[in-house]
Amino acid sequence: MGYLESEENMEPLQEKCLEMAEYFVSFCKQHELLCYLCGGGAIGALRHKGFIPWDDDLDFFMPRKDYEKLIELWPKEADARYVMSNSDEHYLDRNLFVTIRDKETTCVKPYQADLDVPHGLAIDILPLDYYPKSESERKKQVRWALVYSLFRAQTIPEKHGGLMKWGSLFLLGLFPT
């Protein structure tokens, strides 16, 4: 797939993304995993009866239990053409969630250009976690989610103010991975 210079060239990319999504949904059905189209893909399906014209990917939510099962099953049972990318202690892709990439395509994201990771076209898979009833528990969940996100991405958040930047630098310096 060539360089995309305008929205006019988005159709082949979107068709390939849809092909990946169809395989993903089929895999989930086969293994009784629940998934939901979300984000721009869901808006595009409703508003445009397809993709948002400028959208270049599809996103899915999965309940945490199914998300974890997907991480376990995908490497063993999925078509080898589609590789799962998942940051852990041995692998860093700067995503906070799992991506599934088509090894037969190339789509380099600017924040990953310097990484030795599969750079194929991707669909994003995000976990759905419970929402605590207690306000204090919700605040605690948000704080832990921010810390988890920082260490998972291993990058300083941009456009979140100086306090977030310096706090992130401090934590990453204090606990390097």
- Model pLDDT for residues 53-102, shown as the tens digit of each residue: 777 778 999 999 999 999 999 999 999 999 888 765 555 555 567 889 88
**What is the pTM for the complete model shown?**
0.72
> Is 1 among the domain residues?
no
Same structural domain, 116 and 70: yes
Cα dihedral: 57, 125, 176, 158 (round 10): 40
Same structural domain, 27 and 104: yes
Same structural domain, 101 and 32: yes
* Residue 33: per-residue pLDDT: 98
- Residues 34 and 66: their CA atoms lie apart, in Å, by 6
* Residue 57: per-residue pLDDT: 79
* Residue 65: per-residue pLDDT: 97
Same structural domain, 81 and 116: yes
Which CATH number does the domain housing residue 79 bear?
3.30.460
> Is 62 among the domain residues?
yes
> How many domains is the chain built from?
2
Domain extent at residue 29:
7-128
* Residue 85: per-residue pLDDT: 81
Same structural domain, 108 and 31: yes
> Is 68 among the domain residues?
yes
Domain boundary among 111, 128, 145: 128
Residue numbers of the chain with a pLDDT score lower than 50 = 1-5
